[in-house]
A and B are shown apart, each in its own frame.
Chain A
Amino acid sequence: MSTALAVRDLRASIGSVEILKGLDIEVGFGELHVIMGPNGSGKSTLCHVLMGKPEYDAAGSAVVSGTEMLGTSVDVRARHGIAQAFQYPTEIPGITLRELFEELAEQRADGAALLARVDDIAARLGTARFLDRPVNEGLSGGEKKRSEIFQLAVLAPAIAVLDEIDSGLDVDAVREVAEAVERMRGPDIGVLLITHYNRILQYLTPDRVHVMVAGRIVRSGGPELADELEETGYAELVAEFGIKQEDAATGDDFLAGL
């Protein structure tokens, strides 16, 4: 059985700036992996590069369910089974979420089945009210995250890439979103969850936790690694693996500059 996602020596740059500097990660079907790491370390870039966002130049390899994805277009990847919950979901004015699903259903061989599960999943996640509103428009930060997880649940991908799905959520919402992720899990899906906070991990038990610094995975471990990071922060890892110190303003410098 192939893995859900196998990333090897992934590099990505924008213009002449290299953001991902040789990254390896492997998420098996049924697994949940977590990536943590300081702001600007390249976590969202990884998500976009996996999704095929055109502005990045990527090299290396990213294989999903046995198929190389680098070099293919965004929609091909989506149909092959990559789905991303965006850290900053884009508003689509004038198109309701239901219309988006309907359009998708027309494009997909399994469209009827997809449409058939929309209302059930919406009822379960309490997201029915988003269906008749324009996609992400006028939604609060937390509502956008719920809408993202709702869409992913409907899409039922092979690899779900969740970029800070828990940021900006109130305590109840974190639990609900975590439950939604938990329900998505299964033998046919791998989940890659990017987060800054341990609290979502109170409800989800990851198989692996990875730390990303300056475009590389610098440490990997079991669930206990997340707890450790909570205690220690990233300072040591940044000092060891990070970009040159003068480029990396510390929080204190930032505050002093205000």
Chain B
Amino acid sequence: MSARPEPEARWLAELREQGLEAFAALPMPTSKEEVWRYVDLDFDLADLSMPEKAGTPLGEGRFTVAGIGGARIVDGFVDDIVQPDGVTITPTSEADPAALEAAAASVIPPDLDKFSAAHHGFGTDGLLVHAGKGVAVDGPIVIDVQAVTPNALSLPRILLVAEAQSDLSVIVVYRSPDEGTFYVVPQLQATVGDAARLRLTTVQAWGYGTVSVGQQRTVLGRDASVHHGEAGIGAGLGRLHFFVDIDGAGAHSEISGLYFGEDDQLLDYRAFINHRAPNTTSNMFLKGAVEDASHSVFTGLIRIEEEAQRVNAFQTNRNLVLSDEAGAESVPNLEILANDVKCGHGSTVGPLDAEQRYYLMSRGLDRIHADRLQVRGFFEEAIGKLPHQEMAAAIRRAVNEKYVRAQEEGRL
């Protein structure tokens, strides 16, 4: 790999330095490390090349949706910016320094692991979406992130800044061709200012030959609110390591999502919710299913710092295991240093419910359709909570289709 120097803010230049250093110093992670357990990395980042320029972009896809503006990032290169009213969208290299400065608060540390190091050390260009103070837009910004050059590594970066009292709505769709191998280390970071609101939906619609090892971080100011919706559909290895830092008193983080693994997909979610201020709340609700030889992992840590009194924090993770060879891990954790908090987690892993099947069949549905209905109902609760309901139909279709296909092909 080779670094691509470009004009950039000083803190970005420093990050790049740190990234290069960390990349040289850190080994490839192995599944012996707890946070990489279940992940079998059969490649070395250092062996991968990066495209010199963006490949030919994909046409419209099943998750293509209209927004009030947006951009495309192809193989890590930003293009096709459609500028909405009110919000500014620019490549980081052309961004207003003051706007960019606010993004520094939500940087994902380069020394997190070798992937983050690579991202910072070798990243090409980022996309900055900036909502100034008090700006509210009445529709989503849609970012279409693509990896299209086979066997290459791309490092797409999205920086969101919602200044105080602003209201920002962003949909990010990650995709790559169904055929071919693609390596991606996407990072998405969001600085959400005092009393600002961010609604963010991310759809992992990568092809099954894609390895995506992504990191995400949102940092919330006083009375800020973030609602993140996640749909994990594609990728051979789809990993999302994400951090929510609730730094401002009165802030609220909501995470709603679903994932469905088939074939030999590994969908790996690592969630770290940090309450660092009083009167803050967080809620996470994730539902997943696995079939064939796919696996899912959810580990969620809610950490409540000593100064974070009067916190409410909950996480729920429910998993359906639909085939004998499939597996789901669900490990919710709490680390509570404050004493005046309400915290809880619920986690289940199991097959389809026999009582539901019986009830539905007793109305006259055959087993296939009874189970289909149960799977649909299982995800409906998560789909209903997504912050962008305009994505619901496409996401619903994608998850239900996986199950129906497996039924029809006799894979269950």
Contact = CB atoms under 8 A, between A and B. Distances in A.
Interface of A: 51, 53-54, 73-75, 77-79, 83-84, 86, 89-95, 99-100, 103-104, 107-108, 134-135, 151, 155
Given A75-B361, A86-B359, A103-B373, A94 B367 contact: no
Contact of A94 (B359, B362, B366, B380): B380
B302 to A, nearest CB: 24
A155 B365 CA distance: 12
A107 B381 contact: no
Contact of B381 (A89, A93, A99, A100): A93
A208 B362 CA distance: 26
28 contacts: A51-B358, A53-B358, A54-B358, A74-B358, A74-B362, A75-B364, A75-B370, A77-B362, A78-B363, A78-B364, A79-B364, A83-B363, A84-B362, A86-B359, A93-B377, A93-B378, A93-B380, A94-B376, A94-B378, A94-B381, A94-B384, A95-B380, A99-B373, A104-B364, A107-B366, A108-B364, A134-B377, A135-B359
Given A53-B358, A94-B384, A107-B369, 19 more contacts: A74-B362, A75-B361, A75-B362, A75-B367, A75-B370, A77-B362, A78-B361, A79-B364, A83-B363, A90-B355, A92-B360, A93-B377, A93-B380, A94-B378, A95-B377, A100-B360, A103-B369, A103-B373, A107-B364
Interface of B: 354-356, 358-367, 369-370, 373-374, 376-381, 384
Contacts of B367: 73, 75
Query: Residue among B361, B380, B381 with the most chain A CB within 10 A?
Result: B361
Nearest to A134: B377
Contacts of A79: 364
Contacts of A134: 377
A91 B356 CA distance: 7
B333 to A, nearest CB: 26
Contacts of B358: 51, 53-54, 74, 90
Nearest to A95: B377
A193 B49 CA distance: 73
Contacts of B354: 54
Enumerate the 10 nearest inter-chain pairs by beta-carbon distance, A residue then B residue, closest first.
A94-B377, A94-B380, A95-B377, A74-B361, A78-B364, A90-B359, A75-B361, A90-B355, A75-B366, A79-B364
Nearest to A80: B364
Contacts of A92: 356, 359-360, 373-374, 377
A184 to B, nearest CB: 16
Contacts of B379: 94
Contacts of A151: 363
B362 A51 contact: yes
Contacts of A73: 361, 366-367
